[in-house]
Amino acid sequence: MKKILLLAALLALGHKGWTYYQAQNVQPRYAHDYLAVYGRDSCGYTQGTLQALRQAGVRFEYLNIDDPAVADGLHARMTAQGIDTRHYLLPVVDLSDEISVRPNNAELVRAARAQSL
């Protein structure tokens, strides 16, 4: 029984160490200022954010998290910033490597304009 508990503890520590290591290796999407919006086509909040950005003339990139590769990349970025990926609201916005979950659209537009996007 002690061996099983020891093995379980070692596996848990190994997993924790691996996720920490992975989180430290996440680089910004680009070397310049950028705005990436992660969401779903069917999400009203995502569509509202996209509409607000378009109306404000803000440059952005939209990524659909229904694509497994996109979701994996987003989860790595969120984990690196200490954001729980088990359950989160949409949209998730990455403004030059600063991630926010369902931000206020007016504040997002102001922040994007401050970076000349």
Among 90-94, 101-105, 113-117, the minimum mean pLDDT is found in 113-117
- pLDDT classification of 23: cutoffs 50, 70, 90: very low
Q: Is 2-114 a CATH 3.40.30.10 domain?
A: yes
- The alpha-carbon radius of gyration of the chain (Å, integer) is 17
Q: Where in the chain are the domains?
A: 2-114
E strand or H helix at 6: helix 2-24
Beta bridge partners of 101: 92
Confidence (pTM): 0.77
